[in-house]
Structure 1
Amino acid sequence: MNQERIFNVLLRPHITEKTAVAADAQNLVVFKVTADATKPQVKAAVEQLFDVKVADVRVANVKGKTKRTRFGLGKRSDWKKAYVRLEQGQEIDFAVTE
C-alpha cells in the first residue's frame, strides 16, 4: 500500500463512552475510516502510523440517520468505522499532552 493511501484511510478516532469501555475491556481502538477502506488497509495504516501491532480488525458500515428539518426530511451521510484490536501490551494514547 502506498504512503499516500495510508494517510487517507484513517479519518479520525471515534471516541465515545461505548468505545472507552471497549478500550479498557478488550484493548480496542475505534476509528472512523473512509467508505472504501478494507481490513488489510486499516491494519497497515494503524501499524505504520502509530507503531503498534494489530491483532485483528472488524469494520462496520454505519447508516446515516434520517432527520426532520424545516425543509422536510434530510439524511445524514453513511460512514464506516473500524474496530482495531491491539496485541497484548500495545496501546495508543490520544490524550498526549506536552
Structure 2
Amino acid sequence: MNKERLMQVLVGPVISEKSTIAADASRQYVFKVIPDATKPEIKKAVEMMFDVSVEGVRVLNIKGKSKRFGQIKGRRNGVRKAYIRLAEGSDIDFGAGA
C-alpha cells in the first residue's frame, strides 16, 4: 500500500462520551475515515501513524440527516467511522500534545 494513501485514510479521531467509554472499557478507539477506505488500509494507517498493533477493525457508514429550513430542503454529509481495537499493551494518547 502506498504510504501517501495511508497518510490520508484517517481524517481524525472521534472524541465523544461513547468513544471514551469504549476506549476505557475495551481498548477501542474511533476514527473518521475517508469514504473509500478499506479495513486493511485503516489497520495499516493506524499502525503506521501511532506505532501500535491493531487487533481488529470495524467500519460503519452513517447516512447524513435530511434537514429543512423553511421551504429549503437540504442534507448533511454522511460519515464513515472505524472502530479500532488495539492489542493488549498498546495505547493511543490523544492528549499528549496538549
TM-score, shorter chain, exceeding 0.5: yes
Q: Secondary structure at 2:42's aligned position in 1?
A: helix
- TM-score by length of structure 1 reads 0.95
Moved over 2 A (4+): none
Residue aligning to 1:14: 14
TM-superposed deviation, 1:71: 4.7
How does 1:1-98 map onto structure 2 within 5 Å? 1-97=1-97
Percent identity (aligned): 52
Deviations 1:38-88 (CA, angstroms, capped at 9, x unpaired): 000000000001000000000000110111224522101112000000001
Distance 1:71 1:96 in 2: 47
Count of residues paired in the alignment: 98
Distance 1:15 1:6 in 2: 21
Distance 1:20 1:30 in 2: 9
> Over aligned residues, Cα RMSD in angstroms?
1.1
The gaps in structure 1 that reach 5 residues or longer are none
